[in-house]
A = this chain, B = another copy of it.
Amino acid sequence: MSQLNDLQEGTGLADALAAMAAVVGARHVLADEATCERYARSTAARPVRPLALVRPGNADEVAQLVSIAARSRVAVYPISTGRNWGYGDACALGAGQVILDLSRMNKIVHVDAELAYAVIEPGVTQRQLSDHLRERGYRLWADCTGAGPDTSYIGNIMERGFGHSPYGNRLQHVAGMQVVLASGELLETGFGHYRQARAAHLFPYGVGPFLDGLFTQSNMGIVTRLGIWLMPQAECVNHFLCSVPEHADIEPVVDALRPLRLDGTLRSILHIGNDMRVFSGAGAFPRDAVTQGARPPDALRAQMRATSGVGAWTVSGALYGSHAQVAAARAALRRALRGTAGRPAFVSERSLRAGALAARLLGATKAGRRLRARVMLGESLFAMNRGVPDGRFLAGAYWRRRGGVPTSFPDGANPAQDGCGLLWVSPVLPLRGSDMLAVHDLARSSFDKYGFDLFATFSMINERALGGVLTVAYDKEDPDEAARARACHDEVFGNMFEAGYIPYRVGNHAMGRLDPEGDSYWRTVAAIKAALDPAGILAPGRYQPALAAGLQ
């Protein structure tokens, strides 16, 4: 941390923590061994030990803590709920930072039923918002991700994560942020800095430069509140599934779906997963059938496909609207997929109920098992489409975990605490079948080389791009496998980057690789950072490649 002196290890730190305790209360400043060890845990097998954990209760306290940090030259690293799985979890970029844990700030400040938005704090989780909306009878749904019910909305938005619904491009559904700056000032973006404003959470841009983007994937400030738009409940939801038998079959399907995504027939974020992605969500790694340190052989994979009735690729997404609108969308999808190997299947609540009944009638037959598995998946997908997060989609993180999924799964799932090994590479690519296969094949060669199963998901994150999520799941208890996992991640990351498939988001362990040429974008970011945080006390290294490289 070139910008910080080394005071923090000495009395400076003790004084700073004492001052922070005076702000938040002593019980919210934790510097004991157990806490520091717990917050050091990471799915990246790269523990980063914090100096302490401080838990403010409101934005005003955050501002005071930041001022103390600036005075004491102690770096602070904000986390929302610390569930940035596979990208750094709750860890700072480097050791010697104080974690500002914002999870106590979990107020749902306001819900507007008519204009369909909520104002929330960083500690608000997917489950909490979902429960709140249902319990109070709001006819609104919040977008969900598969990262588990206990993840923070704001945390995910700050990393520009995406979900499944038409509101899945989450940053596009944010209006009005409250941000604590390194100066200790409280900034309101959009119209919110005008106290009398009536559209503070209705129109993100405000008047003057639109700043929201600056606070995402950055360390420019600490977002302590924002307005998030909610989706009015649809009269009708159909889940759309489309499987293809063979690997190459997916290319024309992607190209056939693109026009429907472009023309708005498909408004939600479709996800295209390979067979391994589907298996990893439904069961545990077949350790007994696999040589130690190797990936499942192709023959086993083919057998798993046959047993479960899963194709090489599965497209999954939802259609929303009136009954007539959904029917029109179904017809458009059927028409578009004609001539491809993809046979669209539409799951409605009614067909799900019928399927559950049929599965019971078929009992323990092969067909019954298949159908039951499908019904269960359909139920979870349906819940998620309708704003109810489901922990089962985190199962992939436990795929190579030695003990499989713990008894606490899925409710209390915490891959970092449960010892899961998980690294992601997340390239963005043009929404074209050929690019999708190119990215898959490029990754595949490294995964094969290092002995990992390639789980791949490609999500239609907007109308023109796919966001790939390539998962390296590994056994963290096996040091050799952990080293191979890191090598595999690094090689895939490098190959993707060189091939022009730049990640939409990176883990702490990869931030140092984002600026190989010292380009003017990163120089501009650095100039803004220097203006807003001259002492560099906020999350040093976070999306600051030059500094991050030195911390890794």
Q: Quick one: copies of this chain in the complex?
A: 2
Given A208-B525, A500-B194, A531-B530, check contact A116 B171 (CB 8 Å).
Answer: no
Task: Judge whether A462 and B198 touch: CB under 8 Å.
Answer: no
Task: Judge whether A520 and B115 touch: CB under 8 Å.
Answer: no
User: A332 at interface (Cβ–Cβ under 8 A)?
Assistant: yes
User: A524 at interface (Cβ–Cβ under 8 A)?
Assistant: yes
Query: Of A18-26, A182-190, A392-400, which binds chain B?
Result: A182-190
Query: Which chain B positions have C-beta within 8 A of A532?
Result: 524, 527-528
Chain A, interface residues (CB within 8 Å), range:
35 or more
Interface string of A418-446 (1 = CB under 8 A from B): 00000000001111100100000000000
Task: Judge whether A265 and B213 touch: CB under 8 Å.
Answer: no
Query: Which chain B positions have C-beta within 8 A of A191?
Result: 428, 502
Task: Judge whether A114 and B203 touch: CB under 8 Å.
Answer: no
Task: Judge whether A203 and B116 touch: CB under 8 Å.
Answer: no
Query: Which chain B positions have C-beta within 8 A of A506?
Result: 207
User: A218 at interface (Cβ–Cβ under 8 A)?
Assistant: yes
Closest residue of B by beta carbon distance from A322 = B332
Task: Judge whether B264 and A203 touch: CB under 8 Å.
Answer: no
A66 to chain B, nearest CB (A): 14
Task: Judge whether B520 and A430 touch: CB under 8 Å.
Answer: no
Task: Judge whether A521 and B188 touch: CB under 8 Å.
Answer: yes
User: A321 at interface (Cβ–Cβ under 8 A)?
Assistant: yes
Q: List 17 A-B contacts (CB under 8 A).
A: A115-B464, A116-B464, A171-B210, A188-B519, A193-B521, A194-B497, A196-B497, A196-B498, A197-B502, A199-B465, A199-B502, A202-B431, A205-B217, A210-B214, A211-B214, A322-B332, A325-B332
Query: Which chain B positions have C-beta within 8 A of A208?
Result: 217-218, 514, 521-522, 525, 543
A539 to chain B, nearest CB (A): 12
A337 to chain B, nearest CB (A): 15
Query: Which chain B positions have C-beta within 8 A of A229?
Result: 463-464
User: A504 at interface (Cβ–Cβ under 8 A)?
Assistant: yes
Query: Which chain B positions have C-beta within 8 A of A432?
Result: 114-115
Closest residue of B by beta carbon distance from A262 = B232
Most interface-central of A193, A197, A232, A461 (chain B CB within 10 A): A193
Closest residue of B by beta carbon distance from A426 = B207
Whole-angstrom distance between the alpha carbons of A414 and B319 in the complex? Answer: 46
Task: Judge whether A116 and B262 touch: CB under 8 Å.
Answer: yes
Whole-angstrom distance between the alpha carbons of A325 and B326 in the complex? Answer: 9
Task: Judge whether B265 and A198 touch: CB under 8 Å.
Answer: no
Neighbour of A264 across the interface among B166, B331, B498, CB < 8 A = B166
Task: Judge whether B462 and A203 touch: CB under 8 Å.
Answer: yes
Interface string of A21-37 (1 = CB under 8 A from B): 00000000000000000
Neighbour of A500 across the interface among B185, B197, B205, CB < 8 A = B197
Neighbour of A267 across the interface among B197, B216, B264, B521, CB < 8 A = B264
Query: Which chain B positions have C-beta within 8 A of A504?
Result: 203, 205, 207
Closest residue of B by beta carbon distance from A221 = B524
Task: Judge whether A321 and B264 touch: CB under 8 Å.
Answer: yes
User: A247 at interface (Cβ–Cβ under 8 A)?
Assistant: no
User: A324 at interface (Cβ–Cβ under 8 A)?
Assistant: yes
Task: Judge whether B185 and A514 touch: CB under 8 Å.
Answer: no
Neighbour of A502 across the interface among B166, B206, B215, B497, CB < 8 A = B206
Whole-angstrom distance between the alpha carbons of A532 and B432 in the complex? Answer: 38
Task: Judge whether B207 and A505 touch: CB under 8 Å.
Answer: yes
Query: Which chain B positions have C-beta within 8 A of A552?
Result: none
Interface string of A300-334 (1 = CB under 8 A from B): 00000000000000000000111011011101100
Task: Judge whether A328 and B324 touch: CB under 8 Å.
Answer: yes
Task: Judge whether B429 and A198 touch: CB under 8 Å.
Answer: yes
User: A290 at interface (Cβ–Cβ under 8 A)?
Assistant: no
User: A501 at interface (Cβ–Cβ under 8 A)?
Assistant: yes
Query: Which chain B positions have C-beta within 8 A of A212?
Result: 210, 213
Whole-angstrom distance between the alpha carbons of A265 and B321 in the complex? Answer: 8
Whole-angstrom distance between the alpha carbons of A543 and B206 in the complex? Answer: 12
